[in-house]
């Protein structure tokens, strides 16, 4: 694949992003290829050295905010609608107006479901961290109170409190490991969800 083919393919895969974002990325990779060619590489080798288009598009989508992509999609839809409206017949306009109360709530509902899923996942993670904090606090309190009880009040009760504190501290360690894993897993999952939503808007004209 030479430079022009690569840039044309990349441009087609970035359709849906803001136009200034597309031009900025195209310019960046064009200059990168030119620099490699100036160093003695062929266009094909320079393009191959950059990486696959799939990897490049994935990286670009990670960098561009979702709201920016959605805003651009809405803008393009509005422009297309305005162009079509000039050639629509009266009955077609009536159908669009009548259909508006149907598809708009569906669109809002879809976004609400996605947002609810996102918030639910992170609410679960926050709950797990709350359990960890509670166990750690109980463990520390049990150890401190146990030592005080053993010295000042009743040794047996103090030993029991220390034992309970050690149990809570041990559980807190396991809870911390679980919370850390859950946080990383949820971050990866939500990242994939957002990336998937971006893909719905990008690369389609």
pLDDT digits (tens, 9 = 90+) for 62-119: 877 776 776 666 666 665 655 655 555 565 555 555 555 555 676 677 778 878 888 8
Helix (H) or strand (E) holding 4: helix 3-13
Distances in whole angstroms, Cα of residue 67 to Cα of each of 25, 63, 159, 174: 19, 12, 57, 38
3-state SS of the chain: helix, strand, coil percent to 5?
90, 0, 10
Neighbours of 51 (CB within 10 A): 11
Collapsing DSSP to helix, strand or coil, 20 comes out as: helix
pTM reported for the whole predicted model: 0.56
Q: How far apart are CA 154 and CA 143, in angstroms?
A: 14
The whole domain housing 167 covers: 108-201
153 lies in a domain?
Answer: yes
Residues 136 and 194 in one domain: yes
Domain count, the chain: 2
95 lies in a domain?
Answer: no
78 lies in a domain?
Answer: no
Place of tokens 């992170």: 122
């Amino acid at each position: 694949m030479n430079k022009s083919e690569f840039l044309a393919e990349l441009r087609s895969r970035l359709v849906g992003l803001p136009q200034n974002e597309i031009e900025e990325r195209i310019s960046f990779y064009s200059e990168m290829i030119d620099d490699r060619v100036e160093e003695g590489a062929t266009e094909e080798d320079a393009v191959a050295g950059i990486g696959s288009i799939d990897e490049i598009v994935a990286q670009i989508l990670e960098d561009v905010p979702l709201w920016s992509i959605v805003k651009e999609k809405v803008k393009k839809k509005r422009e297309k609608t305005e162009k079509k409206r000039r050639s629509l017949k009266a009955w077609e306009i009536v159908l669009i107006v009548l259909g508006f109360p149907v598809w708009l709530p569906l669109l809002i509902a879809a976004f609400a479901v996605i947002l609810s899923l996102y918030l639910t996942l992170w609410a679960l993670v926050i709950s797990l961290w709350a359990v960890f904090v509670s166990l750690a606090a109980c463990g520390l309190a049990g150890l401190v109170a146990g030592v005080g009880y053993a010295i000042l009040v009743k040794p047996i009760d103090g030993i029991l409190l220390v034992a309970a504190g050690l149990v809570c501290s041990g559980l807190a360690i396991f809870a911390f490991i679980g919370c850390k894993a859950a946080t990383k897993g949820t971050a990866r999952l939500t990242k994939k969800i957002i990336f998937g939503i971006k893909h719905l808007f990008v690369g389609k004209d």
